[in-house]
Amino acid sequence: MNEITLSNDLNVITAEINSYKQELGESSFRIGKLQLGKDATLKEIANLVSRQMDLPYEIVLKAMLSVEGGVFNE
């Protein structure tokens, strides 16, 4: 069985959290656009996704707003 090695390095942990946060933001945005249509606002998308994923609205909205790379320019 493979064992998972956890890091004690704060920089590594921070990088992993930021990576997952970016994934959440990008995925939430794409899911919302598919379900609500291309004219949906970020608030509408965050509201939908937060209810579907049982996450606080603020976390989803902040994750979408923090996405780098211009995902919201599509």
Return the residue matching tokens 């919302």. Answer: 32
pLDDT value, residue 36: 92
Is 38 within the bounds of a domain?
yes
Total domains in the chain come to 1
In the numeric block, which tokens belong to residue 64? 């979408």
- Please tell me the distance from the alpha carbon of residue 28 to that of residue 26, in angstroms, as a whole number: 6
Is the pTM above the cut of 0.85?
no
6 falls within a domain: no
pLDDT of residue 74: 46
Say whether pLDDT at 50 is over 80.
Answer: yes
**pLDDT tens digits, one per residue of 10-46:** 998 899 888 888 888 888 888 888 999 989 888 898 8
pLDDT above 80 for 72? no
Asked whether residue 34 is assigned to any structural domain, the reply reads yes
